[in-house]
């Protein structure tokens, strides 16, 4: 099992300034799309079209919307199934895990995903984020390049070591590029700046140049439980579990335990390529009403001599 880092507290809501990119499956134009998030003002410059038309509206931002019925507010609209990456300990290092979340619309998928990554506590208490809520955030995309400019308070966590800092940069790169791909505007690089400039952040990482996704094997956890999510509820009977990862000879082991730790089901599942390629897997177990934890583990060909198996677990309820 992984140790459980302290969860990041949910931050107060902020106001947002948005210049949104074109939606659907269209690629961003050469003029790009820009989203600015501020704690002071919030104005939306609407989606550009091939004819160059635009619209604008002012968005009052607060924890509770006070806007008239029918007006556009940040918290009146949410985006479902937005990919947000978090960090957790795995195999004696820090690795990326992903949750799909429903998040406030901050002006499109990419801006909303990045904002959620810095502000939204993970569902799984094993996960964490070293980022702090930014009082200002600007996100823009030109073709396959995303630029994310954050105010200095996003980097104000002083308890970030070099390994976590490097992983946090990839956390943002993976989150932004996953959201862009999902939005139909794929991106290959992300440039992160602090207050519009390159900077040395957390005292250990230099930002300000285009950054690509690191290889999956270098940064991503090798075992994810993707369903159920932590805290989900399932019907009594046959429960289907899904996962994602890579394991030696494509073989994963899984076990379901009661709240008290008793094993009620266990087995193996096949997923990935067996040679470093990531892939999906699934398995089932018949469960009576109760609270359970499912743990998914990779095979460990070292017999305990190496970093050990990668694991992920989720606690859920059956009714």
Domain assignment of residue 23, yes or no: yes
Domain check: are 64 and 162 in the same one? yes
Domain-ending residue, one of 218, 237, 270: 218
Question: Residue for token digits 């980022």?
Answer: 131
| 68 within domain boundaries | yes
Instruction: Tell me if 179 is assigned to some domain.
Output: yes
Query: How many other C-beta atoms lie within 10 A of the C-beta of residue 52?
Result: 8
pLDDT in tens, 75-115: 569 999 999 999 999 999 999 999 999 999 999 999 999 99
Whether 4 has a pLDDT exceeding 60, the answer reads no
Share of the chain above pLDDT 90, in %: 71
CATH number at residue 238: 2.60.40.1220
pLDDT of residue 18: 32
Do residues 167 and 251 both lie within one domain? no
Establish if 124 belongs to a structural domain.
Answer: yes
- Of 8-12, 37-41, 193-197, minimum mean pLDDT range: 8-12
214 and 312 part of one domain = no
List the structure tokens of 239.
């429960």
- Tens digits of residue pLDDT in 249-299: 999 999 999 999 999 999 999 999 888 899 999 999 999 999 999 999 999
d(CA 212, CA 189): 5
Q: Where do we find the tokens 């091939």?
A: 50
Q: Does residue 113 lie within any of the structural domains?
A: yes
Whether 2 maps to a domain, the answer reads no
Q: Both 175 and 73 in a single domain? A: yes
User: Which of 218, 237, 262 is the C-terminal boundary of a domain?
Assistant: 218
Task: Please report whether residue 7 resides in a domain.
Answer: no
| CA-only gyration radius of the chain, Å | 21
Determine if the pTM surpasses 0.85.
Answer: no
Same domain, 155 and 119: yes
Note whether 42 and 113 are same-domain residues: yes
Of 287, 106, 73, which Cα lies nearest the Cα of 179? 106
Contact in structure between 180 and 110 (CB atoms under 8 Å): yes
Handedness of CA 36, 41, 47, 50 (dihedral sign): negative
Looking at the fold, whether 187 and 203 belong to one and the same domain comes out as yes
Q: 301 falls in which pLDDT band (50, 70, 90)?
A: confident
Domain carrying residue 256: 222-318
How far is Cα 247 from Cα 252, in angstroms, rounded to an integer? 6
Do 128 and 35 share a domain, yes or no? yes
Distances (CA, A) of 195 to 163, 189, 200: 24, 19, 12
Report residue 151 as tokens: 């105010």
Both 244 and 190 in one domain: the answer is no
Same domain, 113 and 237: no
Residue-wise burial string across 140-159, b where 16 or more C-beta atoms lie within 10 A, e elsewhere? bbbeeebbbbbbebbbebee
pLDDT band at 190 (very low <50, low <70, confident <90, very high): very high
Q: pLDDT digits over 157-183, tens only?
A: 999 999 999 999 999 999 999 999 999
Q: Which residues on adjacent β-strands are paired with residue 230?
A: none
Backbone angles phi, psi at 184, to 5 degrees: 85, 15
Tens of pLDDT, residues 12-44? 333 233 333 333 333 333 335 566 655 433 333
Same domain, 171 and 278: no
Q: Are residues 250 and 109 in the same domain?
A: no
- Does 228 sit behind a cis peptide bond, omega within 30 degrees of 0 on the bond before it? yes
Residue given tokens 């079209």 in the structure block = 49
| Number of domains forming the structure of the chain | 2
Q: Is residue 246 a part of any domain in this protein?
A: yes
Q: What is the pLDDT of residue 127?
A: 98
> Phi first, then psi: what are they for 249, rounded to 5°?
55, 25
Phi, psi (degrees; rounded to nearest 5) at 99: -125, 145
Q: Which of 162, 192, 218 is the last residue of a domain?
A: 218
């Amino acid at each position: 099992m992984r140790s459980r880092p302290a969860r990041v507290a949910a931050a107060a809501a902020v106001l947002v300034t948005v210049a949104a990119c074109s939606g659907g499956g269209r690629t961003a134009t050469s003029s790009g799309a820009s989203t600015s998030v501020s704690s002071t003002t919030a104005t939306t410059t609407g989606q550009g079209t091939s004819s160059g038309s635009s619209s604008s509206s002012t968005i009052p931002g607060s924890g509770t919307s006070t806007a008239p019925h029918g007006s556009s507010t940040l918290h009146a609209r949410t985006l479902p199934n937005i990919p947000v990456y978090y960090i957790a300990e795995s195999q004696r290092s820090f690795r990326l895990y992903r949750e799909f979340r429903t998040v406030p619309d901050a002006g499109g998928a990419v801006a909303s995903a990045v904002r959620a990554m810095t502000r939204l506590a993970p569902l799984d208490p094993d996960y964490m984020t070293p980022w702090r809520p930014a009082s200002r955030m600007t996100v823009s995309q030109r073709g396959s390049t995303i630029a994310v400019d954050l105010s200095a308070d996003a980097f104000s966590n002083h308890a970030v070591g070099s390994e976590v800092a490097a992983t946090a940069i990839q956390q943002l790169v993976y989150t932004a590029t996953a959201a862009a791909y999902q939005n139909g505007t794929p991106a290959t690089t992300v440039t992160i700046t602090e207050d519009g400039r390159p900077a040395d952040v957390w005292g250990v990482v230099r930002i300000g140049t285009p950054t690509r996704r690191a290889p999956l094997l270098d940064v991503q956890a090798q075992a994810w439980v993707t369903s159920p999510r932590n805290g989900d509820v399932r019907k009594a009977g046959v429960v289907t579990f899904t996962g994602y990862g890579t394991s030696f000879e494509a073989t994963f082991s899984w076990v379901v335990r009661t709240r008290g730790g008793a094993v009620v089901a266990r087995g193996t599942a096949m997923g990935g390529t067996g040679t470093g390629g990531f892939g999906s897997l699934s398995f089932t177990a018949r469960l009576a009403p109760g609270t359970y934890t499912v743990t998914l583990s990779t095979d460990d060909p070292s017999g305990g001599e190496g970093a050990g198996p990668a694991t992920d677990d989720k606690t859920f309820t059956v009714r």
